[in-house]
Copies of this chain bind each other. A is one copy, B any other.
Amino acid sequence: MDDISNTEITAGIINSTTSTRVLDALTQLREDIISGVLEPGEKLRVQHLKSKYGVGAATLREALSLLVSESLVTATAQRGFNVAPISLQDLKDISETRIMLEVQAAVDSVQNGDEDWEVQLIGAYHRLTKVEENSTNLAENSTAIWEQRNIEFHEALVAACSSRWVRQFRSILHTHSERYRRLSLQTVGISRDVHEEHKQIFDAAMARDADTLSKVLTKHIEKTFDIVHKLVDDAK
């Protein structure tokens, strides 16, 4: 089973090289769900969507079924598929669970990470810094780049965590966090503070300072919740 040069789907994670119609649809659907083009709770009509994504019914259904893996889509017998709903309570749950898993994973990484992990983390941090430094004039397309690099940075941070399962669950929750962030902050740019937070996380990780890392990482995750929470309250 050599997956190095091939597209493997483990609950939520895709390493794309080869492409299929299912994977294409899956990728587009995921992006549309996370970005809010497909609204939370919305019914996903196969008949309608298959023309939109240019695939047959069976292919679309397969893509939707795979998205159930990531809890981005729900399936109900005889009643089709829906975009996963959202709620403030759900975001709270996600944030808290994510803190538990991500802190554990990061600490584990710091304790087990070898030189290669360090190198990868430095690279990811560097690429992230590059887009965050010019955060004032953040154009639309660079937002997409920031999102990608932010994911990669967090992924690199926990890459040396010895538990495949913790990494997998963490990754799913991170995707959901991102969805909430994007649904809430669509118009808001990336504030300068975020870079400072990432710096603190990076520094603590490189210093192998587990305690500090726990603290700053926890705060970092809590902040997403706080911001969305505040926005929801303000909207009332």
Contact = CB atoms under 8 A, between A and B. Distances in A.
A121 interface: no
Nearest to A19: B77
Interface in A45-92: 58, 61-62, 65-66, 68-71, 74-79, 82, 85, 90
| Copies of this protein in the complex | 2
A166 interface: yes
A122 to B, nearest CB: 27
Contacts of A117: none
A9 B68 contact: yes
Contact of A77 (B7, B90, B96, B100): B7
A82 B2 CA distance: 13
Interface residues of A, number: 48
Contacts of A114: none
Residue among A1, A58, A78, A165 having the largest count of chain B Cβ atoms under 10 Å:
A165
Given A69-B11, A93-B164, A97-B166, A1 B78 contact: no
Given A18-B77, A58-B58, A93-B162, 8 more contacts: A1-B82, A9-B75, A17-B77, A20-B78, A65-B68, A68-B69, A97-B163, A97-B169
Contact of A76 (B3, B11, B74): B3
A10 B71 contact: yes
Nearest to A8: B76
Nearest to A79: B6
A204 to B, nearest CB: 22
Nearest to A71: B11
